[in-house]
Structure 1
Amino acid sequence: MDTNSVWGSWGLVVASIVTLLVVRAVWVLQITGRALPAQSGVKRRPLRTLIVLGSGGHTAEMMSLVRVMDLKRYAPRHYIAGATDNMSLPRAERVEAELLKSAQFSDQDTKAADEWLQRSQYSKIYRSREVGQSYVTSVFTTLWAFAHSVVQVLRIQPDVILCNGPGTCLPICVAGFLLKLVGWRWVVVVYVESIARVKKLSLTGLLLYKLRLADQFFVQWKDLKTKYPQANYVGRLM
C-alpha cells in the first residue's frame, strides 16, 4: 500500500469521526433544554450534584438555593471554587454543617441521609482569567483552566451541574457538555442567573444561553424573560 493510500484511509477515518461528532452534537443540542422526564417508581435515586461557587455575591446566592434544595435528592454535593477564592468553600462547609444539624429525617432514613450529607466534598479549579489579567495571557490560562475542569468533571462524574454566573462555571459547563457529546455521561446543567442581573445577562449567562449549553436556564426578572424568551422566569429566589 503506497503512502497516498494510507493517508487517504486515515483521512476517511478522521472525516467519519468528525461527521459522527457533528451529528451527535446537533442531536445533543436539540434535546438539551427540554423538560426532563419524571422518574417512575416510588424511590428516585440521588443525583450527584456539582455546585459551582464564585467570589462576591455568587456564593451567597448559591447558598440560598442550597438551603432550600432536597438534601436527599441532590446528594452527594460537590462544591467547586476558583483557586484564588479563599472564602467560598469555607462558607459552603459552614452551610453544610448547619443543614446537617437542622435536618429532620424519619427514624428509617436518618442514617442514610447523614451519610449523604457527610459525603459533601470541596475542591478548587484554576480560573480562566483573574481580575486585571491581560487578554493575551488569559488565552493560555483559559486553556489550562478548561483542561483542569475536564479532569475534575471526569473525576466527580456529576449528574447535575448547578451554577449562577461566576466565570469559573463556564469551563465546568463545557466539560459537562463534552461528556454528553461523547456519550460518556448525561450531565444536566442548571443555570440560575444572578438576581443582580435585571436588564441583561452576565457574560457567562449569555454564552451558556447562546451556545445552548444549559438544560435549564432560569432568570429572576421579567425583563430578562422578555429579552431572552428561551429562559425560564421563576421570580426572585433570593
Structure 2
Amino acid sequence: MVVMGSGGHTTEMLRITKHLNKERYTPRVYIVSSTDTTTISRVLAGEDSSGTYTICKIPRSREVKQSYLTSIFTTALSTVSSFPVVLWHRPQLVLCNGPGVCIPICAVVFLAKALFLIDARIVFVESLCRVKSFSLTGKILMFFADKILVQWPDLCKVSKRADYIGRL
C-alpha cells in the first residue's frame, strides 16, 4: 500500500516506487486524497497496463491552511473511511512519506495489527525538505511506524528510531 500525497510528496513517492520490484510488490494499492486532482494521472503514467494495482480515494485528513481544530473532524472522517480500504486490501507493507492522509491509514493499520487482523509493516520516509527537524506527520508516526527512514544524517540525531538512507 503506497500512500500518495500531492505535489512534492507525490514526486518523492513516485521516485521511490519507480525502483520497486513490481513483480514482488504486487498487487499495489495507491491511496490518494479524494480532492487531489493530479496524483492519479501521475500514478497511471508510472504504471503499466498489467492491472496489478488499484487506486483508492479517501477523504483528505487536512486541507492546506485548514485549522488544526477543524482538522480533528476531517481526520476522523478520513480514519473511518480508511477502515474498509485497509481491511479489504490487507496490506503487508504501507509505504508513506509525509502527507497528512497517511496518518489515518497508518493508524488503522496499526490498530488492525494490534488486533491481529493483518500482519503489516509501516515504513515512513521523511521528506527530503526536512533537514533538521521532523514534520508533524513524522512526529506522529514515531508511535506507529515500524521503520523511520530519513534523507539527512542530522535527523538521526533528533530520533534514535530514524535510519539514514541518503537522498532518494
Q: Distance in 1 between matches of 2:138 and 2:69?
A: 23
Q: 1 or 2, which has the higher helix percentage?
A: 1
Q: Distance in 2 between matches of 1:197 and 1:163?
A: 15
Q: Distance in 1 between matches of 2:123 and 2:146?
A: 6
Task: State the 1:119 CA deviation.
Answer: 1.9
Among 16, 32, 54, the alignment partner of 1:81 is: 32
Asked which structure has the greater CA Rg, the reply is 1
Where does residue 71 of structure 1 map in the other structure? 22
Q: TM-score normalized by structure 2?
A: 0.95
Task: State the 1:170 CA deviation.
Answer: 0.5
Where does residue 108 of structure 2 map in the other structure? 175
Q: Which runs of 5+ in 1 are unaligned?
A: 1-49, 101-116
Alignment of 1:127-206 (within 5 A): 127-206=60-139
Letter of the 2:113 partner, please give it: K
Tell me the alpha carbon deviations over residues 107-129 of structure 1, each in whole angstroms, 9 at most, x when there is no partner. Answer: xxxxxxxxxx4221112100112
Q: Distance in 1 between matches of 2:12 and 2:75?
A: 25
User: Sequence identity of aligned pairs in percent?
Assistant: 45
Tell me the alpha carbon deviations over residues 143-178 of structure 1, each in whole angstroms, 9 at most, x when there is no partner. Answer: 111100112111111111000000000110000001
Q: Which runs of 5+ in 2 are unaligned?
A: none
Task: State the 1:227 CA deviation.
Answer: 1.5
- Root mean square deviation of aligned Cα: 1.2
How many residue pairs are counted as aligned between the two chains? 168
Q: Distance in 1 between matches of 2:35 and 2:21?
A: 30
Q: TM-score normalized by structure 1?
A: 0.68
Letter of the 2:85 partner, please give it: Q
Task: State the 1:134 CA deviation.
Answer: 3.4
Where does residue 54 of structure 1 map in the other structure? 5
